[in-house]
């Protein structure tokens, strides 16, 4: 066989076809971290995310199209962006890369939020997307390798408000620091925490800085970063970026985007691991949530357990005495009923926090640090969410806290100003349980090799409805499919990039029958699977081909090649070198 020709064919295939992304946290991905704190949690997370696929430094420019695309090819530059306003300048992906620069707006480059001088010549951290962002070259040069911090006296201020200057003495450091704007402090905090954990124990040749000692973050800095992590909650931008890096490039995740509560569990000696109940309740019942989930989206009851009452989201006048319904709480569960289901609130991520919308269609919030509650059907109020010993702190953009007033003549859920909110009762969240699974899918313009990770009788109908006129063609191994079958691959041709969700039940990862010749199959597992862990008896010369990661060849002993793992939701082709029928089984 002419392997050079085969390699050329696959290279051409790679250039012609596009990428599919399955944006979700694999079930069980963080199981190894359960019930751990301190160094034990740090080690567990390191073991989960280590050994990632390395992206070449030159390919970071291409990766930014998926990870830092603000829309229409605009670079999401955190050093120039003005959330809610108009940036002083923008860049288009693929254009304006540095080069030389003399001022802001000249060009953008690849900012290592953990500067290269802190880890030396190591190539893996140099190319680690989880801490590399596209930023204005001039601002990046001003930041240089100074620590992040909070500026007391600025010597230079960027056009979006980022600052360079002397650090606030209250932080315990007096040198020069760089301070990003508030809207992105959490992003940078979680990036640095990732680096500290990802390279824990792999830092023998790393240096030190005024912020770090090898991969350890110094006490003054980690205290500040933990505050930033909580003051600027995880945004949809970060969730999407984390998903893209995991699905399309490195195949590892930033734990602090998925679980921001891990920060205090590692670096705050007083923190205790939260206990999240295992929702064994009937589908549709409400289960108490005691720690921050990776994805807040869903229907919730806002509850004061001490009074067995929930905020009544069915009301149209929400700021009223008696805005409650009675609930019965049994072992951390509230049973579904017509009245209970009508009282829910839906939480969703927005750029500057989270929206909370009543079942009656009103967004709630408070724009000033004062007692009261605003509600509106069109104005989306921002809230931040954080856990405090199993209770939920819902903090309005104005600084007031949502609490329950138990006074007999004032019994109600309402926002209370930050100076007196502790006089009111702490509240809890109960989330509606749903046993159905969701597959979030991103298809690129052109051909995509796709596989279902959920199954439902109407999955093909869901797919066609989601794609609409953008679906040009869908083919299975035997032609145009009449249904979508778990374990199989489908090639989908679209006329533009599109993201959508499919719902059903999670696919059980079953064995795949491999016939002589070629077999199309889809990876329907919950987590990525290493080729070395597959249960199969390949013949020498057997190949597994991917759309975007090349292929692997069995050399008689092991799989070798650029393809090392099978990713959930992606399709593959198995090429058998002999005529035997084989079975491929997932571990």
Total domain count, the chain: 3
Task: Note whether 218 and 357 are same-domain residues.
Answer: no
Kindly state whether residue 521 falls inside one of the protein's structural domains: yes
Task: Note whether 107 and 180 are same-domain residues.
Answer: yes
Average pLDDT of span 271-275: 54
Contact criterion met (CB below 8 Å) for 225 and 212: no
Q: Which CATH number belongs to the domain containing residue 319 in this structure?
A: 2.80.10.50
Task: Note whether 355 and 395 are same-domain residues.
Answer: yes
- Token digits for 98? 């540095």
Task: Note whether 263 and 291 are same-domain residues.
Answer: no
Q: What is the largest CA-CA distance in the chain?
A: 86
Q: Is the dihedral of CA 123, 126, 129, 135 positive or negative?
A: negative
Compute the distance between CA of residue 147 and CA of residue 165 in angstroms, rounded to an integer.
Answer: 11
Name the domain boundary from 400, 416, 432: 432
Host H or E run for residue 198 = helix 185-198
pLDDT at 331: 84
Q: How many CB atoms lie within 10 A of CB 557?
A: 7
Kindly state whether residue 122 falls inside one of the protein's structural domains: yes
Binning the chain into helix, strand and coil, the percentages to the nearest 5 are: 25, 30, 45
Task: Note whether 260 and 335 are same-domain residues.
Answer: no
Kindly state whether residue 200 falls inside one of the protein's structural domains: yes
Task: Note whether 381 and 309 are same-domain residues.
Answer: yes
Contact criterion met (CB below 8 Å) for 113 and 192: yes
Average pLDDT of span 169-180: 96
Task: Note whether 100 and 210 are same-domain residues.
Answer: yes
Of the spans 55-69, 378-392, 454-468, which averages the highest pLDDT?
55-69
pLDDT at 297: 76
**Distance from the first to the final alpha carbon of the chain:** 32
DSSP class of residue 150 equals: -
15 against 496, higher pLDDT: 496
Compute the distance between CA of residue 81 and CA of residue 235 in angstroms, rounded to an integer.
Answer: 15
Task: Note whether 244 and 376 are same-domain residues.
Answer: no
pLDDT at 18 over 50: no
Compute the distance between CA of residue 37 and CA of residue 569 in angstroms, rounded to an integer.
Answer: 33
Sheet-wide strand order for 176-179? 151-157, 163-167, 176-179
Contact criterion met (CB below 8 Å) for 195 and 211: no
Q: Which residue has the tokens 């079975």?
A: 583
The string over 220-257, giving b where at least 16 C-beta atoms fall within 10 Å of a residue's C-beta and e elsewhere, is bbbebbbbbbbebbbbebbbbbbbbbbbbbbbbbbbbb
pLDDT in tens, 110-123: 999 999 999 987 78
* 131 backbone dihedrals φ, ψ, rounded to 5°: -125, 10
Compute the distance between CA of residue 379 and CA of residue 355 in angstroms, rounded to an integer.
Answer: 10
Compute the distance between CA of residue 90 and CA of residue 80 in angstroms, rounded to an integer.
Answer: 8
- Domain enclosing residue 485, as ranges: 437-584
In the chain, count of helices (H) and strands (E)?
Answer: 13, 38
- Token digits for 291? 């720690």
Contact criterion met (CB below 8 Å) for 262 and 33: yes
Average pLDDT of span 263-270: 87
Kindly state whether residue 281 falls inside one of the protein's structural domains: no
Task: Note whether 394 and 447 are same-domain residues.
Answer: no
> Of all residues in the chain, what percent carry a pLDDT higher than 90?
65
pLDDT at 580 over 90: no
Q: Which residue has the tokens 């109908």?
A: 461
Compute the distance between CA of residue 501 and CA of residue 522 in angstroms, rounded to an integer.
Answer: 18
Task: Note whether 261 and 337 are same-domain residues.
Answer: no
Kindly state whether residue 414 falls inside one of the protein's structural domains: yes
Average pLDDT of span 555-572: 90
pLDDT in tens, 89-98: 999 999 999 9
**DSSP structure string for 463-506:** HHHHHGGGEEEEEBTTBS-SS--TT--EEEEESS-EEEEEEEEE
Helices (H), 32-127: 38-49, 60-67, 116-119, 123-126
pLDDT at 273 over 60: no
Kindly state whether residue 500 falls inside one of the protein's structural domains: yes
Name the domain boundary from 416, 432, 448: 432
Kindly state whether residue 14 falls inside one of the protein's structural domains: no
Name the domain boundary from 403, 432, 461: 432
Task: Classify 313 in phi/psi space as left (phi over 0), alpha (psi -120 to 50) or beta.
Answer: alpha
pLDDT at 582: 86
pLDDT at 434: 64
pLDDT at 206: 94
Task: Note whether 421 and 541 are same-domain residues.
Answer: no
408 against 302, higher pLDDT: 302
- pTM of the model as a whole: 0.51
Task: Note whether 313 and 257 are same-domain residues.
Answer: no
Q: Which of 162, 191, 289, 183 is nearest to 235 (CA)?
A: 183
DSSP class of residue 219 equals: H
Contact criterion met (CB below 8 Å) for 54 and 250: yes
Kindly state whether residue 17 falls inside one of the protein's structural domains: no
Host H or E run for residue 12 = helix 3-16
């Amino acid at each position: 066989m002419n392997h050079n020709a085969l390699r050329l064919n696959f290279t051409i295939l790679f250039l012609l076809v596009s990428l599919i992304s399955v944006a979700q946290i694999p079930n069980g991905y963080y199981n190894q971290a359960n019930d751990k704190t301190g160094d034990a949690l740090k080690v567990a997370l390191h073991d989960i995310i280590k050994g990632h696929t390395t992206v070449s430094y030159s390919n970071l420019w291409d990766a930014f199209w998926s990870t830092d695309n603000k829309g229409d090819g605009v670079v999401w530059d955190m050093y120039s962006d003005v959330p809610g306003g108009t940036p002083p300048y923008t860049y288009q992906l693929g254009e304006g890369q540095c080069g030389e620069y003399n001022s802001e707006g000249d060009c953008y480059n690849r900012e290592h939020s953990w500067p290269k001088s802190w880890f030396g010549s190591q190539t893996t951290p140099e190319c680690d997307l989880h801490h590399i962002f596209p930023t204005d070259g001039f601002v990046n040069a001003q930041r240089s390798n100074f620590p992040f911090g909070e500026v007391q006296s600025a010597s230079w201020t960027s056009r979006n408000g980022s600052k360079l200057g002397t650090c606030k003495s209250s932080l315990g450091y007096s040198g020069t620091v760089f301070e990003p704007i508030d809207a992105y402090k959490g992003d940078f905090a979680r990036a640095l925490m990732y680096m500290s954990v990802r390279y824990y124990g792999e830092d023998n040749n790393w240096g030190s800085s005024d912020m770090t000692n090898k991969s350890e973050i110094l006490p003054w800095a980690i205290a500040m970063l933990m505050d930033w992590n909580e003051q600027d909650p995880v945004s949809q931008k970060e969730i999407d970026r984390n998903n893209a890096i995991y699905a399309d490039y490195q195949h590892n995740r930033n734990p602090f985007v998925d679980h921001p509560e891990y920060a205090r569990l590692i670096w705050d000696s007083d923190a205790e691991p939260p206990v999240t109940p295992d929702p064994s309740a009937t589908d549709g019942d409400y289960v108490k949530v005691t720690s921050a989930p990776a994805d807040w989206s869903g229907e919730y009851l806002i509850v004061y357990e001490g009074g067995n009452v929930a905020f009544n989201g069915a009301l149209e006048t929400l700021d009223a005495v008696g805005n409650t319904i009675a609930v019965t709480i049994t072992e951390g569960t509230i049973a579904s009923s017509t009245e209970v289901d009508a009282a829910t609130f839906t939480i969703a991520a927005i750029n500057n926090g989270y929206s909370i919308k009543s079942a009656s269609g009103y967004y709630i919030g408070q724009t000033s640090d004062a007692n009261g509650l605003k509600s509106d059907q069109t104005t989306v109020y921002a809230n931040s969410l954080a856990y405090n010993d199993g209770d939920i702190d819902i903090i309005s953009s104005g600084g007031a806290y949502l609490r329950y007033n138990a006074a007999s003549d004032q019994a109600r859920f309402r926002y209370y100003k930050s100076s007196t909110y502790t006089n009111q009762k702490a509240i809890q969240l109960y989330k509606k349980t749903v046993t159905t699974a969701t597959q979030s899918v991103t298809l690129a313009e052109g051909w995509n090799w796709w596989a279902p990770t959920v199954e439902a009788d109407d999955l093909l109908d869901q797919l066609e409805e989601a794609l609409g006129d953008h679906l040009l063609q869908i083919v299975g191994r035997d032609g145009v499919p009449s249904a979508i079958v778990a374990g199989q691959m489908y090639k989908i041709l679209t006329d533009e990039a599109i993201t959508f969700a499919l719902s059903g039940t999670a696919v059980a990862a079953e064995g795949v029958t491999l016939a002589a010749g070629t077999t199309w199959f889809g990876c329907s597992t919950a987590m990525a699977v290493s080729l070395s862990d597959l249960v199969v008896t390949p013949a020498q010369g057997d190949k597994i081909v991917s759309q975007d990661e090349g292929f692997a060849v069995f050399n008689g002993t092991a799989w070798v090649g650029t393809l090392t793992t099978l990713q959930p939701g992606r399709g593959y082709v198995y090429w058998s070198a002999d005529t035997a029928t084989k079975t491929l089984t997932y571990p």
